[in-house]
């Protein structure tokens, strides 16, 4: 059979219908086994990766994570506080740095604990997460042990002599005032001696450290009691014994000096000294008059 010249010159395959042709990419190895939706999935994956990259580079990763976990039901909805007396709730909440939408899952409890421990009254603290939405904070506070005065400055201190606060009000009126530099670290020794004599302790308002060696007590009626460097408890016991016998601490005196072991020295008030002097002069005049007669 002889074909027409036009058919002989036509390119091979041109006459095969296009619908019956196989795409080249399906004929090329493993690609022919991929499902038809592979292209769509790849495009979506590429788009997601691009979005995530943009979020990370732009610094929005934390914000997006917070939003997603909070929307899933992990937003902090309740904060339970316990143990605080001197520390206000406002100080605690401010240190926690909780905002609307804060996720419990992403909340940094260790960092919050560090911030809380920087509050003046806080000694120790625990921060616990209770899923899905509760944060529990337990505060252990430092105990106000005494007041410390140096110059015009007055502070509340703990048993270690560490300053807790310079905000002193009437709540601390019953605390012993320690006066002088170094008194804050040695205060426990005089407080222990006074605690052994509660009848005297209730009358003592301040203790002044003298030359970093001994103490002077100031009573509520203004009398100063000068204590020896050693045997303080013995001196205090002698003082209370004399007060019980003759009301020493209720008399018109300004100073009771206990520094000498074998004697007690008192200083009268100016009014009492003038009365004593006047009485002595009158007594001397009467004696001279009697002798002359």
Give the model confidence (pLDDT) of 61-72 as tens digits.
455 555 555 556
Q: Looking at residue 289, what is its pLDDT?
A: 46
Q: Looking at residue 283, what is its pLDDT?
A: 45
DSSP notation for 95-124: HHT--TT-BTTT--HHHHHHHHHTSTTEEE
**pLDDT tens by residue, 87-127:** 999 999 999 998 888 888 888 999 999 999 999 999 999 99
Among 143-152, 191-200, 232-241, 264-273, the minimum mean pLDDT is found in 264-273
Four-residue CA torsion sign, 50, 55, 59, 65? negative
Q: Cβ-count burial of 207 within 10 angstroms (0-12 exposed, 13-18 middle, 19+ buried)?
A: buried
Residues 6+ apart with CB under 8 A from 101: 66, 67, 70, 75
Among 12-26, 185-199, 204-218, 258-272, the minimum mean pLDDT is found in 12-26
| Range with the largest mean pLDDT of 14-18, 50-54, 98-102, 156-160 | 156-160
What predicted TM-score, i.e. pTM, was given to this entire model?
0.68
Q: Which domains does the chain have, with CATH numbers?
A: 73-141 (3.10.20.310), 146-273 (3.40.50.11690)
SS3 content of the chain, % helix, strand, coil (to 5): 45, 20, 35
171 vs 165: CA distance, rounded Å: 13
- What are the structure tokens assigned to 285, written together? 């005049």
Residue 178 near residue 148, CB atoms below 8 Å: yes
222 vs 205: CA distance, rounded Å: 9
HSE-up (13 A, CA, CB side) for residue 106: 20
Q: Give the pairing of strands 122-130 and 177-179.
A: unpaired
């Amino acid at each position: 059979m002889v074909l027409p010249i036009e058919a002989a010159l036509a390119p091979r395959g041109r006459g095969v219908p296009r619908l019956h042709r196989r795409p080249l990419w399906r004929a090329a190895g493993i690609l022919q086994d991929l499902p038809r939706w592979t292209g769509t999935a790849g495009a979506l994956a590429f788009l997601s990766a691009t979005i995530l990259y943009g979020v990370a580079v732009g610094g929005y990763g934390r914000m997006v994570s917070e939003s997603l976990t909070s929307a899933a039901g992990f937003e902090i909805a309740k904060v339970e506080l316990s143990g605080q007396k001197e520390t206000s709730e406002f100080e605690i909440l401010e240190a926690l740095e909780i905002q609307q939408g804060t996720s419990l899952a992403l909340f940094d409890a260790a960092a919050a604990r560090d911030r809380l421990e920087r509050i003046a009254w806080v000694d120790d603290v625990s921060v616990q997460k209770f899923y899905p939405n509760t944060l529990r904070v337990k505060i252990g506070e430092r105990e106000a042990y005494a007041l410390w005065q140096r110059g015009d400055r007055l502070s509340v201190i703990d048993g270690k002599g560490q300053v807790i606060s310079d905000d002193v009000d009437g709540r601390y009126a019953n605390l012993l005032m320690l006066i002088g530099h170094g008194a804050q670290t040695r205060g426990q020794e005089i407080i222990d001696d006074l605690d052994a004599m509660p009848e005297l302790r209730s009358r003592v308002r301040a203790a002044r450290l003298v030359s970093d060696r001994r103490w002077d007590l100031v009573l509520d009626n203004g009398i100063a009691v000068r204590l020896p460097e050693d045997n303080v408890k013995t001196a205090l016991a002698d003082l209370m014994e004399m007060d019980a016998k003759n009301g020493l601490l209720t008399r018109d005196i300004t100073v009771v000096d206990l520094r000498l072991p074998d004697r007690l020295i008192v200083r009268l008030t100016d009014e009492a000294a003038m009365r004593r002097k006047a009485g002595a002069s009158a007594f001397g005049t009467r004696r001279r008059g009697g002798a002359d007669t």
